[in-house]
Amino acid sequence: MKNKNNMAEKAPYKNKQHKLLIAYVLGLLAVIGFGGTLPVTKIALADFSPEFVTFARSFFAAILAIMFLLIFRKKLYHEANLQIFIAGLLLVFGFPGFMAFAMQTVPASHGGVVLGFLPLTTAIIARMLTEEKPSLLFWCLSIIGCIIVACYIYFKSDEVGHSGISAGDIFLVIAGLCASVGYVIFGKLSRTTPGWEITSRSLVLNLPIIIIGFWWTYETEYSTPSLNGIMALAYVSAISMFLAFFAWNVALAWGGIARIGQLQLLQTFATLLISAILLNENLDAITIITAIAITVIIAASRKL
């Protein structure tokens, strides 16, 4: 009888651990998808303006969102529509818009390391807006991780041609803050509503702004883009703007906003690797050592 009780007690624990593992896998896939956004955006900017890229990626993602909502017969009304709309403003326009402007002046790899502060800001905002209460050790690891990324930025700044803070860095910081607040709102709502639905609704609710912006920023020369430009725009529309958010929202809901948010530390290095592959940007020993250090911190934070 005692063994049966022990098995019953272990079952919920195993289910919880299994769910957490899935959350980390989905979060990692989302981070890889997001990690390609900076270098792929830089490729798209060879054919399009940053304003058009911002609205075009949202426009095509909104078409996918409408299809999904119709297939699953979801009504437009939702009790959290206002929160979804606000989060949409931050993640549909704020983050990609400022990021696209930044990519005009700084390398994608540089942008990746500057956005390394995302996990800490996401955790802080999550603490302010939700009931999550990470441990002191968790906070210490988060701060150490961000310090490592900041040191990386400092030592690599001369190599990217910016000895101090540039306009591109400021745009990236603003973009990161927009993303952090949006992630927290989406993560909180995804506890009661599927992540794909939240993402879809945010795009549909912002569709009037998207259409106006798409029309306003469109130029006739955009009708004959290069193949690379088309593929880049398709990526940031379908992956960065839509599918990756599905996985990310589920991960935040299942694993906790602050804890899963730590995976964003890996996004920096996903961006660096993809930048090296697509743009031939430098990937040296310092970058690899820093990536290993950050990975260790994330592994340790999983236990807290």
Task: Give CA–CA dist 69/62, Å, rounded.
Answer: 10
Domain contains 270: yes
Asked if residue 285 is part of any domain, the answer here is yes
Quote the pLDDT of residue 164.
58
Evaluate if residue 279 carries a pLDDT over 70: yes
Give the mean pLDDT of the chain: 84
DSSP 44-95: HTTTS-HHHHHHHHHHHHHHHHHHHHHHTT--S--TTHHHHHHHHIIIIIIH
For residues 10-32, give the mean pLDDT.
Answer: 81
Question: Is 12 a member of any domain?
Answer: no
Q: pLDDT at position 230, please? A: 95
pTM of the model: 0.79
The confidence band for 65, taking pLDDT boundaries of 50, 70 and 90, is very high
pLDDT band at 284 (very low <50, low <70, confident <90, very high): confident
Nearest to 62, CA basis, from 241, 246, 185, 212:
241
Give the type of residue at 233.
Answer: L
Q: Under 8 Å CB-to-CB from 74, ≥6 apart: which residues?
A: 197, 200, 201
Contact at 8 Å (CB) between 91 and 151?
no
Please give the average per-residue pLDDT across 10-24, as a whole number: 75
Assigned domain for 98 exists: yes
Alpha helical stretches, state H, the chain: 2-35, 37-44, 50-71, 81-88, 95-102, 108-114, 118-129, 136-156, 167-189, 195-205, 207-217, 227-235, 244-255, 257-261, 264-279, 285-301
How many domains is the chain built from? Answer: 1
pLDDT band at 75 (very low <50, low <70, confident <90, very high): confident
Q: What are the C-alpha distances in Å from 129 to residues 119, 122, 186?
A: 15, 10, 12
Confidence of residue 152 (pLDDT cuts 50, 70, 90): confident
Q: pLDDT tens, 94-130?
A: 999 999 999 988 888 778 777 777 777 777 787 777 7
**Mean pLDDT to the nearest integer, 264-272:** 81
pLDDT at 227: 95
Please indicate whether residue 41 or residue 191 has the higher confidence score (pLDDT).
Answer: 41
Please report whether residue 25 resides in a domain.
Answer: no
pLDDT, residue 234, reads 95
Domain that holds residue 294: 37-301
Structure tokens at 38: 């900076």
* CA 175/CA 217 separation, integer angstroms: 20
Closest to 92 (Cα-Cα) out of 207, 259, 194: 207
How far is Cα 144 from Cα 120, in angstroms, rounded to an integer?
Answer: 10
Tell me what the mean pLDDT of segment 259-277 comes to: 82
12 falls in which pLDDT band (50, 70, 90)?
low
Q: Are 117 and 261 in contact (CB under 8 A)?
A: no
Q: Residue 296's pLDDT band (boundaries 50, 70, 90)? A: confident
Counting every residue, how long is the chain?
A: 304
Highest mean pLDDT among 71-75, 183-187, 279-283: 71-75
Q: Residue 17 domain-assigned?
A: no
pLDDT category at 303 given cuts 50, 70, 90 is low
Looking at the domain assignment, is residue 30 inside a domain? no
User: pLDDT per residue over 198-242, tens digit each?
Assistant: 889 999 999 999 999 999 999 999 989 999 999 999 999 999 988
- Residue 237's closest CA among 270, 199, 266? 199
Q: Is the pLDDT of residue 11 over 60?
A: no
Domain for residue 152, yes or no? yes
**pLDDT tier for residue 140 given thresholds of 50, 70 and 90:** confident
Q: Say which amino acid occupies 109.
A: S
